[in-house]
Structure 1
């Protein structure tokens, strides 16, 4: 018997179809019924991915193949079953190739045929989710390694990722967003376009110095460069679009000049815009009231509901390091998983080597050791280290 928590969406205009599925699936699946295709799509956009979507033959102005194709966009990991009275090969071909359906049931469908189709579709859905999770874990590890490497050479551009990621997770939790992978990837990769900029432009921009028209064009083009770098990588297509639109104002201002307005802008892009601009307006200690006041000067550029929620959730500021001890270390004593409390700077020139909030990996520790041998870094280094035993709470030397 299938897990009772597995959700199935049935969309059909016939009462007898709903009655039959309710009788068969009772106590086996969590069944959600719709008679209108548009209402079903709207529900799917806001309630996530059910295990199975069953498309009936009568959907009003929308045919079952078009509806199944639309479902593939908003819930690509749902297995789709099309109910039909058509027996032509052409219909089957269109249902599978155009509608991306998992299977087609031809009326009159017996109870056993429906139950077998549901069990097979559920197994298919679970395989899709399992493969997606494995791919996301692999991709997340690859992105983290890429960011680790880039942050060694573009520390100033990537210093914002740790505090913004922490704030993004706080905001997502307050909004009830359970799947944050796409948002976290967007945050981690958001400085990629800036890292490709000439250092002169980036330094003048950071210092709020005037830019030439040509320099402003180069700066404004950074989101497009990021999108073009990422859009052909599987699983990062949506992340690429989020990054491209993360400079787009809620009122249509910003970059790109043409594009969606208001709530048509992807939610993660709206979140990233607020958090990035807050970081730019905040002191090193974290988000504060003056930072929000700075954003309110151009309040129309931000989603008003998100801005109000961000103010409520984030005004405590700083990274959430509760439960983690602060330890003083020299480079040779750093461990994987340590999180930097302060920026790591060179001993003499005070050049930024690695930004605060960075979680250390074997790669970054090895790089810091090499950097220390060649140029020297300021030590001891303050880190957050979870689960530190009593005999190690003293300064590591």
Structure 2
């Protein structure tokens, strides 16, 4: 494959395409198409292209319409339009609507066209560099917050990990496209729990009865989590999912507005069910009893998702083979199904976390210095959270701190 910048040229006149390719092939990797339809077909198979140059006046699909489709599907591709003087009004409209980077009038010399493409390539480089920077910022922010949650509240982090697993399974089953949004929302839906008083947090994660005041604080956890994450770029869809986690399918619940049924974001409906199921399972109920409970909660959950959850429990996909291991048998990738505690009972790592290289080393260090309650209960992993929600540690105390407790 050529290292030259990739450029797609679209024109219904074959002679013009041949001339463009002949004059520019030393500077760019040129692909040609004879119509907007063919151009879209090429893009669907061979994208990405840095730049697209399209003629305006083509049969069936004008260049402006073609480039509008390009903008919708491949927004980072920079779009250039070739046009005759008679088309200026329509081209001006296209430029003003924002889907044309630049337009050139015919006839256009090879030198001018090459210079315009060079400018467009620089614009493409800026766009992709900004996107890469934002993605790295997003991933870095998520990683940092996940680590903080694991350290500050291992119980909340363990619960979030378990919610994430079930939510991901349901999202995959329902065919949701942006599954990462559900994963990130699940991992951070408990961040707001750091605002709870220590005693309330302990009661919550040990499933002890709460006072009405404590219930109100817990109900606000999704909103608090959303507020904490509000300044991270590109999390708008994730924030919406978190905002509506407390919304019942019948429209009751929080936030108090008119949304109901399928108007509620799908990710929110998934997380609401996953959170409720995780809570019942953490109380020791088996999947069948968990399903019996959630299906009797009238108006709370999406019936279609209840059906999917029932299929997961009935098929056994929701169940895991759990094994008790010694420390030397522990391997990266395994999932902790019970809390890891010191011999004195201090919580070291919350259940639900994946054993990473660093976490494995720390568990071994605890074993060697303070001793652990054995065996360690684990299961083999059946899903991956993805790069966006990776987390390495759930440790809440150093070996020295455990020794002194």
TM-score (norm 2): 0.62
Contact 1:279 1:287 in 2 (8 A): no
Task: Say if 1:291 and 1:184 are closer, same or farther in 2 by CA, change over 3 A.
Answer: same
Q: 3-state DSSP class of the match of 2:257?
A: coil
**Greater RCO structure (CA 8 Å; 6+ sep):** 2
- Corresponding position of 1:342: 338
Equivalent runs, 1:1-397 vs 2, <5 Å:
24-30=35-41, 77=75, 85=87, 87=89, 94-95=96-97, 99=98, 101-103=99-101, 132=131, 136=135, 139-140=138-139, 142-206=141-205, 207-213=207-213, 215-258=214-257, 260-283=259-282, 288-316=287-315, 328-330=325-327, 336-349=332-345, 351-365=346-360, 367-368=362-363, 376-384=371-379
Task: Say if 1:232 and 1:342 are closer, same or farther in 2 by CA, change over 3 A.
Answer: same
- Corresponding position of 1:60: none
CA distance in 2, matches of 1:244, 1:203: 24
- 1:25 deviates by 3.6
CA distance in 1, matches of 2:105, 2:291: 60
- In structure 1, runs of 5+ residues without a counterpart are 2-21, 33-49, 57-63, 387-397
CA distance in 2, matches of 1:82, 1:216: 58
- 1:275 deviates by 0.7
CA distance in 1, matches of 2:74, 2:264: 20
- 1:246 deviates by 1.0
Contact 1:157 1:194 in 2 (8 A): yes
CA distance in 2, matches of 1:224, 1:136: 24
CA distance in 2, matches of 1:282, 1:123: 54
CA distance in 2, matches of 1:181, 1:146: 16
Give the total of aligned pairs: 335
Rg comparison, structure with higher value: 2
Task: Say if 1:219 and 1:321 are closer, same or farther in 2 by CA, change over 3 A.
Answer: closer
Contact 2:281 2:287 in 1 (8 A): yes
TM-score (norm 1): 0.63
Contact 1:340 1:357 in 2 (8 A): yes
Contact 2:192 2:224 in 1 (8 A): yes
- 1:385 deviates by 6.3
CA distance in 2, matches of 1:140, 1:315: 36
- 1:140 deviates by 3.8
- 1:372-392 per-position Cα deviation (integer Å, ceiling 9, x unaligned): 577543134244568xxxxxx
- 1:167-187 per-position Cα deviation (integer Å, ceiling 9, x unaligned): 223222222234321111111
- 1:98-135 per-position Cα deviation (integer Å, ceiling 9, x unaligned): x4x3436699999x9xxxx99x9999889968975785
Contact 1:281 1:291 in 2 (8 A): yes
